[in-house]
Amino acid sequence: MKYKAMKFCFEPEKIDTLIQLAIQEDIGDGDITTESLIPDSLIAEGAFIAKESGVIAGLPVVEYFFSKLDKGVSLKQNVKDGTFVKKGENIASIKGSAKTLLSGERIALNFLQRLSGIATLTAQFVERIKPLKTAIMDTRKTVPGWRYLEKYAVAMGGGVNHRMGLYDQVLVKDNHLDILKAEIGLKPVSASSHSSIIEKTVSALRQKIKKGILIEIETRTLDEVKDALKAGVDIILFDNMNIAQLKEAVKMIKNWKSSKVRRRPLTEASGNITMENVHLVAQTGVDRISIGAITHSAKALDISLEISRQ
Active site residues: 106, 141, 173, 218, 239
Q: Concatenate the DSSP letters of all residues of 111-178 into one string.
A: HHHHHHHHHHHHHHHHHHTTTS-PEEE--S---TT-HHHHHHHHHHTT-B---SSTTSSEEE-HHHHH
> What's the sign of the alpha-carbon dihedral 222, 223, 224, 226?
positive
Q: DSSP assignment of 237-281, as one string?
A: EEES--HHHHHHHHHHHHT---SS-SSPPEEEEESS--TTTHHHH
Omega prior to 12 cis, within 30 of 0? no
Which of 5, 19, 286, 289 has its CA nearest to residue 120? 5
Amino acid at position 176, single letter? H
32/13 Cα distance (integer angstroms): 29
How far apart are alpha carbons 209 and 167 in whole angstroms? 11
Question: Are the C-beta atoms of 297 and 273 separated by less than 8 Å?
Answer: no
Q: Whole-angstrom Cα distance, residue 288 to residue 85?
A: 27
Residues 6 or more apart whose CB falls under 8 angstroms from that of 291 comprise 125, 136, 137, 138, 139, 270, 273, 278
